[in-house]
């Protein structure tokens, strides 16, 4: 339509639409409309404001032709649609070339600039910044370089003012955010300091952990470890003359490592779809997925319908819960809830992925587990003594019993054996939780959380995979196990499970030479 109005042949040019509100000066960068959504935004904005510049830029598609900028009113158009509305109400059309991207300072520029110490050319009147973060990073590095500190005198979502920390000093900056974008611009800059260097109490401003993290993150790319906090203190002192405390260096390192190793959000975007398909293909499956307020992956839960149905039908009500580290880029933990079937095979019930083992993650996992496995006084949990597990089981499964894994207990006791506190430890561990005879529920012979640990070893290499391949190998593993077990149990005609029948057979062999003296109806004294 526009091409028609301007009498231009379509195959000759690329058309670009951009807009600019009237209240901004014409040297501000216009917002370029790249897709339908941005056109809708523009129309909504225009309805609200009614005073806006619409910029139409034609660029020749033929390489050797220079850009054609047209700056004339369109012919009347009788056709309806968005463009007509615009033509009717918009008083003026201007042409405006898209500003060169190099006019904007991004966080990346700030960080590269800081490394090469070119930041002084970035802080000046009229300079654009792609985001508030980019502006902040540039200012922090600028202050660090020029040995002064500043304080924020005004701060809002749309504008901010800072001035030199020294009250008598005239140095100040005012920056504004464009109403329709995330771009910031320095619109006032008094650049010379009137404060006396002799009055300074420290060398300069210490940039935030994020800014330092961005500054040093290249040190973590493609290496196993990267600089430790003390190395960062040295780097910042020798390269930037900036003194950091250990905790500042530690936080900066965390930030840098996360930036480099953290999985970008888009890799997680497929997870909800994957979970949906999983539920479609496996009736009765319960999954859940949680993200934090920044839209980043937080928790995931998956429990297959088949596992749950089988658990209620034939499995002893003892659930072993444990967590293990994932070795993938995301560095989270895999949380596992598993039972043991009649053949002493692992019988996985649920898997979870979380950022780490703590109260919040165990709480979330157990809340999800409770959706599929109801609280019951006949239900028992066995775990290592991770404090969060016990605490959360008591909260979320108040009826169920909770025991501690014997191996972990013994391991911890061995470590504590030189200490007179051992008695205290066992007491503190709560005798009911580790002594089978004192355990208030049924835990059968499931005393250790070896089952969960065997799952961890079964998934040794998948634990290095990204999340979806990891989930998929869990699914494959369970399919294989359940298939094999079904095939095996179909051949079984004895009343007990294969393993228990074999165990009885072994015991008969062992016990047939024993002599037994009954001491009561159920107790026999055995003489070898």
User: Which residues form the interface with Zn ion (CB under 5 A)?
Assistant: 164, 166, 169, 171, 193, 195
Least separation in angstroms between CB 166 and Zn ion: 5
**Of 195 and 278, which CB lies nearer to Zn ion in the complex structure?**
195
* Calpha distance 5→24 (Å, rounded): 27
Residue 337 Ramachandran class (φ > 0 left, ψ -120 to 50 alpha, else beta): beta
Least separation in angstroms between CB 106 and Zn ion: 27
Least separation in angstroms between CB 189 and Zn ion: 13
**Of 162 and 455, which CB lies nearer to Zn ion in the complex structure?**
162
Least separation in angstroms between CB 297 and Zn ion: 44
Q: 10 Å Cβ neighbour count for 144?
A: 24
* Calpha distance 219→213 (Å, rounded): 10
Least separation in angstroms between CB 148 and Zn ion: 5
- Residue 112 belongs to what H/E stretch? helix 107-115
**Of 84 and 149, which CB lies nearer to Zn ion in the complex structure?**
149
Q: Which residues pair with 93 in a beta bridge?
A: 54
**Of 132 and 193, which CB lies nearer to Zn ion in the complex structure?**
193
**Of 205 and 316, which CB lies nearer to Zn ion in the complex structure?**
205
- Per-residue buried b or exposed e for 33-66, using 16+ beta carbons within 10 Å of the residue's own CB: beeeeebeebeebbeeeeebbbbbbbbeeeeeee
Q: At what angle do helices 82-89 and 36-49 cross, to 10 degrees?
A: 30
- Residue bearing tokens 């504008």: 159
Least separation in angstroms between CB 140 and Zn ion: 16
**Of 193 and 279, which CB lies nearer to Zn ion in the complex structure?**
193
* Backbone φ and ψ of 188, nearest 5°: -145, 130
Do 148 and 164 touch, CB atoms closer than 8 A? yes
Least separation in angstroms between CB 197 and Zn ion: 9
**Of 199 and 427, which CB lies nearer to Zn ion in the complex structure?**
199
Least separation in angstroms between CB 111 and Zn ion: 25
**Of 162 and 470, which CB lies nearer to Zn ion in the complex structure?**
162
* Calpha distance 369→393 (Å, rounded): 11
**Of 204 and 403, which CB lies nearer to Zn ion in the complex structure?**
204
CA distances to 122, 332, 417, 436, 440 from 432, in Å? 67, 32, 21, 8, 7
**Close Cβ partners of 86 (under 8 Å, ≥ 6 residues apart):** 43, 46, 54
Burial class (CB within 10 angstroms; exposed 0-12, middle 13-18, buried 19+) of 361: buried
Least separation in angstroms between CB 168 and Zn ion: 8
Q: Largest alpha-carbon pair distance within the chain?
A: 114
**Of 133 and 166, which CB lies nearer to Zn ion in the complex structure?**
166
**Close Cβ partners of 480 (under 8 Å, ≥ 6 residues apart):** none
**Close Cβ partners of 282 (under 8 Å, ≥ 6 residues apart):** 304, 305, 306
- Three-state SS for 473? helix
Least separation in angstroms between CB 195 and Zn ion: 3
């Amino acid at each position: 339509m526009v091409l028609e109005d301007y009498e231009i042949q379509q195959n000759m040019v690329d058309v670009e639409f951009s807009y600019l509100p009237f209240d901004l000066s014409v040297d501000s960068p216009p917002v370029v409309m790249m897709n339908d959504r941005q056109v809708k935004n523009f129309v909504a904005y225009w309805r609200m404001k009614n005073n806006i510049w619409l910029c139409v830029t034609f660029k020749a598609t033929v390489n050797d032709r220079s850009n054609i900028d047209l700056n004339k009113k369109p012919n009347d158009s009788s056709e309806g649609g968005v463009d007509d509305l615009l033509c009717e109400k918009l008083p003026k059309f201007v042409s405006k070339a898209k500003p060169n991207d190099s006019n904007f300072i991004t966080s990346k520029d700030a960080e590269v600039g800081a490394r090469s110490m070119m930041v002084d050319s970035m802080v000046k009147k009229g300079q654009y910044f792609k985001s508030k973060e980019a502006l902040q990073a540039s200012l922090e590095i600028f202050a660090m370089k020029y040995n002064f500190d500043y304080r924020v005198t005004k701060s809002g979502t749309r504008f901010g003012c800072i001035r030199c920390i020294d009250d008598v000093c005239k140095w100040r900056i005012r920056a504004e955010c464009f109403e329709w974008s995330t771009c910031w611009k320095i619109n006032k800059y008094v650049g010379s300091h009137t404060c006396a260097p002799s009055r300074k109490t420290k060398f300069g401003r210490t940039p935030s952990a994020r800014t330092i993290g961005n500054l040093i993150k290249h040190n973590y790319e493609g290496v196993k470890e990267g600089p430790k906090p003390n190395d960062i203190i040295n780097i910042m002192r020798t390269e930037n003359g900036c003194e950091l405390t250990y905790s500042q260096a530690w936080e900066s390192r965390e930030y840098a490592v996360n930036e480099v190793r953290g999985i970008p959000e888009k890799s997680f975007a497929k997870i909800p779809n994957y979970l949906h398909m999983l539920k479609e293909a496996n009736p009765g499956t319960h999954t859940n997925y949680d993200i934090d307020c920044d839209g980043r992956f937080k928790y995931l839960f998956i429990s297959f319908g088949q596992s749950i149905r089988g658990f209620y039908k034939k499995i002893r009500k003892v659930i072993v819960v444990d967590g293990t580290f994932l070795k993938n880029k995301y560095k989270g933990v895999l949380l596992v809830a598993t039972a043991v079937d009649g053949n002493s095979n692992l019988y996985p019930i649920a898997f979870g992925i979380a950022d780490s083992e703590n109260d919040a993650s165990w709480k979330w996992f157990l809340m999800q587990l409770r959706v599929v496995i109801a609280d019951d006084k006949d239900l028992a949990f066995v775990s290592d003594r991770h404090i969060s597990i016990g605490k959360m089981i008591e909260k979320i499964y108040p009826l169920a019993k909770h025991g501690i894994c014997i191996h972990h207990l013994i391991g911890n006791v061995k470590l504590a054996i030189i200490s007179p506190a051992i008695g205290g430890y066992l007491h503190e561990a709560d005798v009911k939780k580790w002594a089978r005879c004192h355990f208030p529920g049924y835990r059968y012979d499931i005393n250790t959380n070896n089952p969960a640990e065997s799952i961890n070893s079964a998934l040794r290499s998948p634990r290095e995979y990204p999340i979806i391949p990891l989930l998929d190998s869990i699914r494959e593993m369970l399919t294989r196990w359940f298939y094999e077990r079904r095939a095996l149990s179909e051949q079984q005609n004895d009343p007990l499970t294969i393993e228990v029948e074999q165990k009885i057979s072994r015991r008969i062999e062992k016990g047939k030479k024993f002599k037994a003296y009954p001491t009561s109806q159920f107790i026999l004294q055995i003489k070898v």
